[in-house]
């Protein structure tokens, strides 16, 4: 059973950097699928942040490009998100997930429980 | 970016009755491999999104067969043959044909 768990500070100061880690269990992070982040501001819809492959290849949302960085740590079977220069608009529940398709063209999509990050002084 | 729209945005339903949600994309989601890269998620209150349908019409493992997805190109539909109380929540369509991946605004389904 694949499980993902987000961790990181729940409160970040404006202009600071939001840093989250996603611990993956039940599958190797070296599996050929994407490792993704989405976020959901309180009471609003889902917003795609970006994705990373185990090789380090990344795709980021153009609206966040320049502020977002993702990385993979194979030794810890985890991946991470950093978002710099945060403002109150970055307050949201952040979800990490496994996305993409397996060799039989079956979706592997699964998301962690999410973690609320509040940007406030 | 591909823009995703959904209708209706709110859908009150009677248990046991069918329900249908429409999703449209600003560009075709049909890949040259024949697959439509359209995914449906259900987000129940206080929970993460859970996968319902992928590649337009394939039910994910464990998803009841009362859920079905159809459509091709730019027009897609999610149908629930007989809504149960546990089906309440917000339904999102998402395209994963290209980056940035984009979600629809969501359709909130609740019981009348």
Residue B70 has pLDDT above 90, yes or no: yes
Averaged pLDDT of chain B? 97
The chain B residue lying nearest A107, using CA atoms, is: B54
Question: What is the model's pLDDT at position B13?
Answer: 96
CB contact under 8 A, B103 and A112: no
CB contact under 8 A, A107 and B54: yes
Judge whether A95 and A6 are in contact, CB under 8 Å: yes
Which residues on chain B are in Cβ contact (under 8 Å) with A114? 48
Question: What is the model's pLDDT at position A65?
Answer: 86
CA A6 – CA A4 distance, rounded (Å): 7
Read off the pLDDT of each residue in A29-39 and give the average, rounded to a whole number: 96
Judge whether A19 and A80 are in contact, CB under 8 Å: yes
Averaged pLDDT of chain A? 97
Residue B29 has pLDDT above 90, yes or no: yes
CA B18 – CA B22 distance, rounded (Å): 14
Which residues on chain A are in Cβ contact (under 8 Å) with B99? 51, 59
Which residue is listed with tokens 């500070």? A9
User: Could you tell me how far CA B58 lies from the centroid of its own chain?
Assistant: 11
Residue B42 has pLDDT above 90, yes or no: yes
pLDDT bin (cut points 50, 70, 90) of residue A74 is very high
pLDDT in tens, B84-111: 999 999 999 999 999 999 999 999 999 9
Size of interface A-B (CB pairs under 8 A): 61
Residue A87 has pLDDT above 90, yes or no: yes
Chain B closest-CA separation from residue A14 CA (Å): 26
pLDDT in tens, A106-121: 999 999 999 999 999 9
Chain A closest-CA separation from residue B101 CA (Å): 6
CB contact under 8 A, A109 and B43: no
Read off the pLDDT of each residue in A79-83 and give the average, rounded to a whole number: 98
CA A44 – CA A21 distance, rounded (Å): 23
Give percent of chain A with pLDDT exceeding 70: 100
CA angle A85, A87, A89 (to 5 degrees): 130
CB contact under 8 A, B1 and A111: no
The chain B residue lying nearest A37, using CA atoms, is: B101
């Amino acid at each position: 059973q694949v499980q993902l768990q987000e961790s990181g500070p729940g409160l970040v100061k404006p202009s600071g950097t939001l840093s989250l880690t996603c611990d993956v269990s039940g599958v190797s992070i070296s599996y050929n699928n994407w490792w993704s982040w989405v976020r959901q501001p309180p009471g609003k819809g889902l917003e795609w942040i970006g994705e990373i492959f185990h090789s380090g290849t990344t795709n980021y949302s153009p609206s966040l490009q320049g502020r977002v960085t993702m990385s993979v740590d194979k030794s810890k079977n985890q991946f991470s998100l950093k978002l710099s220069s945060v403002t109150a608009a970055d307050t949201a529940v952040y979800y990490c997930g496994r996305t993409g398709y397996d060799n039989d063209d079956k979706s592997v999509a699964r998301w962690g429980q999410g973690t609320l990050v509040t940007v406030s002084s | 970016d591909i823009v995703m729209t959904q209708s209706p945005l709110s859908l009150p339903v009677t248990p046991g009755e069918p329900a249908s949600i429409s999703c449209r994309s600003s560009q075709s989601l049909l890949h040259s491999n024949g697959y439509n890269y359209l995914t449906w998620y259900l987000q129940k209150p206080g929970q993460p999104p859970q996968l319902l349908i992928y590649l337009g019409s394939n039910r994910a493992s464990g998803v009841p067969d009362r859920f079905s997805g159809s459509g091709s190109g730019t027009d897609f539909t999610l149908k629930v043959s007989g809504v149960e109380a546990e089906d309440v929540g917000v339904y999102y369509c998402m395209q994963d044909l290209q980056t940035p991946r984009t979600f629809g605004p969501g359709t909130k389904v609740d019981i009348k």
